[in-house]
């Protein structure tokens, strides 16, 4: 069974993916509001697929709020909590 990724590993993976989606914005950090990037439904779906493939967490299966998608930091916390709870 693979080891559960650390919060920093989750955050690095998300930052790399989101930075790749928005190469015109090289200053994306974990605190950058995702809404300001123009994260449209297609890119959001791509992000959901990445999360499921990388971490085994389906974001569509659980509670997903606007706060969850506020920033990389909030999304990271949500994924880490889901992994910790086993859901």
Domain ranges of the chain: 7-85
Rounded Cα distance, 25 and 4, in Å = 30
State pTM to two decimals: 0.89
Which is the CATH superfamily of the domain at 7-85? Answer: ACP-like (1.10.1200.10)
Residue 5, pLDDT score:
93
Mean pLDDT of all residues in 4-27: 93
Rounded Cα distance, 68 and 24, in Å = 24
Q: What are 35-64's pLDDT values in tens digits?
A: 899 888 899 999 999 999 999 999 888 778
Rounded Cα distance, 14 and 80, in Å = 12
State percent of the chain over pLDDT 70: 97
Residue 1, pLDDT score:
46
Mean pLDDT of the residues in the chain? 91
Largest CA distance in the chain: 38
Q: Each residue of 14-49: b (16+ CB within 10 Å) or e?
A: bbebbbebeeeeeebebebebeebebeeebeebbee
């Amino acid at each position: 069974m693979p080891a559960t990724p650390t919060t920093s590993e989750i955050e690095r993976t998300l930052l790399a993916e989101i930075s790749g989606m928005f190469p015109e914005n090289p200053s994306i950090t974990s605190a950058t509001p995702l809404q300001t990037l123009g994260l449209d439904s297609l890119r959001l779906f791509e992000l959901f697929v990445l999360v499921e493939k990388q971490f085994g967490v389906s974001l569509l299966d659980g509670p997903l709020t606007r706060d969850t998608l506020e920033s990389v930091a909030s999304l990271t916390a949500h994924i880490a909590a889901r992994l910790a709870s086993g859901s």
